[in-house]
Structure 1
Amino acid sequence: MKKVAVIGAGTAGLASAIRLKSLGYDVTIYEKNDKIGGRMNQIKENGFTFDVGPTIVMMPKLYQEIFEVSGADYKDYIEMLRIDPMFEIQYRDRTTLTASNDLVRMTLENEQVSEEDAQGYMAYLAEVYKRYLVAKNHFIDRSFRKPSEFYNPKMLYQGLKLKTLSSAYKSISKYVKNEKLRQSLAFQTLYIGISPYNGPSIYTIIPMIELLYGVYYIKGGMYSMAKAMEKRFLEMGGKILLNQNVEEFIIENKNIKAIKVNGKISENYDAVLSNVDFPWAMNNLIKDNKNKGKYTPKKIDKMLYSSSSFILYIGTKKRYNLKPHTFFFTNDFNGNINDIFDGKTPDDPSYYVYAPSRIDSSMAPEGKESLYVLVPVPNKSDSPEKWDEKQTKAYTDKILDMMSYHEVFKDIKDNIEYLKVYTPNDFETQFNLQFGATFGLRPTLLQSNYYRPQNKFKFLNNLYSAGSSNHPGAGVPIVLNSAKLAVNELHKDLK
Structure 2
Amino acid sequence: MSKTVIVVGAGTAGLASAIRLQNNGYDVEIYEKNPKVGGRMYQVEEKGFKFDVGPTIVMMPNIYKEVFEQAGRNSEDYIPMQKLNPIYSIQYTKDESVDVSTDLADLTEFLEGISEEDTLGYYRYLTQTYKRYLVAKDHFIEKPFRKPSDFYNPKTLLNAYRLKTFNNAYNEISKFVKDDRLMKMLSFQTLYIGISPHNGPSIYTIIPMIETIYGVWYINGGMYTMATSMAKLFEELGGKIYLNSSVEEVVIKDKKANGVVVNGEVIEADYVVVNADFPYAMKNLIKNEKDRGKYTNKKIDKMDYSCSVFLMYLGLNKKVSDDTRLHNIVFADDFEQNISDIFDGNDPKDPSIYMYIPTKIDDSLAPKGKEVLYVLAPVPELKTRGHKWTQDEINEYKKIVYDKIKMKKGLGNIEDFVEFEKIFTPNNFESEFNAMHGATFGLAPTLLQSNYFRPQNKFRYAENLYFTGSSVHPGAGVPIALTSAKLAADELMKDDKNF
Q: Is the 2:245–2:262 contact (alpha carbons within 8 Å) kept by the matching residues of 1?
A: yes
Deviation at 1:93, TM superposition (A): 4.2
**SS, match of residue 273 in structure 2:** strand
Q: Is the 8 A contact 1:220 1:362 kept in 2?
A: yes
Q: Residue 467 of structure 2 corresponds to which residue in structure 1?
A: 465
Could you tell me how far apart the structure 1 residues matched to 2:409 and 2:87 are?
Answer: 21
Offset, 1:193: 0.2
1:445-468 per-residue CA deviation (whole Å, 9 max, x = no partner) reads: 000000000000000001100000
Could you say which residue in structure 1 is the equivalent of 2:341?
339
2-structure distance, mates of 1:59, 1:257: 36
- Which residue of structure 2 aligns with residue 110 of structure 1? 111
Is the contact made by 1:404 and 1:413 (CA closer than 8 Å) also made in structure 2?
no
Measured in 2, the distance between the counterparts of 1:264 and 1:195 equals 43
Map of 1:282-361 to 2, 5 A cutoff?
A: 282-321=282-321, 322-361=324-363
Partner residue in 2 for 1:150: 151
> C-alpha separation between the residues in 1 aligned to 2:360 and 2:92?
21
- The 1-side partners of 2:404 and 2:176 are apart by 32
- The CA deviation string for residues 64-94 of structure 1, in whole angstroms up to 9 with x for no partner, is 0000111111111111010010011112241
Runs of 4+ with >2 A deviation? 404-408
The alignment yields a C-alpha RMSD, in angstroms, of 0.8
Equivalent residue number for residue 383 of structure 2: 381
Q: What TM-score, normalized by structure 2, do the two folds share?
A: 0.98
Instruction: Provide Cα deviations, 1:275-317, integer angstroms capped at 9, x if missing partner.
Output: 0000000000001111010000000000000000100000111
> Is this contact kept in 1: 2:94–2:408, CA < 8 A?
no
Moved more, 56-65 or 401-410: 401-410
Q: Distance in 1 between matches of 2:216 and 2:403?
A: 30
Q: Following the alignment from structure 1 to structure 2, what is the Cα–Cα distance between the partners of residues 51 and 145?
A: 35
SS of structure 2 residue aligned to 1:243: coil
Q: Does structure 2 conserve the Cα–Cα contact (< 8 Å) formed by 1:50 and 1:363?
A: yes
User: Aligned partner of 1:99: which letter?
Assistant: V
Partners of 1:451 and 1:390 lie apart in 2 by 40
Instruction: Give CA-to-partner distance per residue, 1:403-433, whole Å, 9 cap, x none.
Output: 2244321110111100000000000010000
Residue 20 (str. 1) matches residue 21 (str. 2): yes
Q: How many percent of aligned residue pairs carry the same amino acid? A: 56
Q: Which amino acid aligns with 1:313?
A: Y
Q: CA deviation at 1:250?
A: 1.6
CA contact (8 A) 2:146 2:460 kept: yes
Indicate the SS of the match to 1:91. Answer: strand
Q: CA deviation at 1:122?
A: 0.3
- For the 8 Å contact 2:259–2:271, the answer to whether it is kept is no
CA contact (8 A) 2:60 2:214 kept: yes
Q: Aligned letter for 2:399?
A: D
Alignment of 1:246-257 (within 5 A): 246-257=247-258
Counterpart pick for 1:427 among 426, 429, 433: 429
2:70 equivalent to 1:69 = yes
Taking the aligned partners of 1:103 and 1:263, their CA distance within structure 2 comes to 59
Q: What SS is found at the alignment partner of 1:315?
A: strand
C-alpha separation between the residues in 2 aligned to 1:427 and 1:436? 5
Shift of 1:161: 0.7
2:202 matched residue in structure 1: 201
Q: Deviations over 1:371-392 (max 9, x none)?
A: 0000000000110242111111
Structure 1: give runs of 5+ residues left out of the alignment.
none
Match among 388, 410, 414 for residue 412 of structure 2? 410
User: 2:103, 2:404 → 1: CA distance?
Assistant: 32
Task: Determine if contact 1:83/1:214 at 8 Å carries over to the other structure.
Answer: yes
What is the alpha-carbon distance in structure 2 between the residues aligned to residue 259 and residue 385 of structure 1?
32
Q: 1:481 aligns with which of 468, 483, 495?
A: 483
Partner SS for 1:367: coil
Aligned ranges 1:28-67 → 2 under 5 Å? 28-67=29-68
Aligned residues: 494
SS in 2 for 1:233: helix
Partners of 1:211 and 1:38 in 2: CA distance: 28
| 1:256-281 CA-partner distances (Å, limit 9, x unpaired) | 12211012211x21110010000000
Aligned equivalents of 2:365, 2:157: Cα separation in 1: 48
* Structure 2 unmatched runs, 5+: none
One-letter amino acid of the structure 2 residue matched with residue 276 of structure 1: A
TM-score (norm 1): 0.99
Q: Determine the structure 1 residue equivalent to 2:96.
A: 95
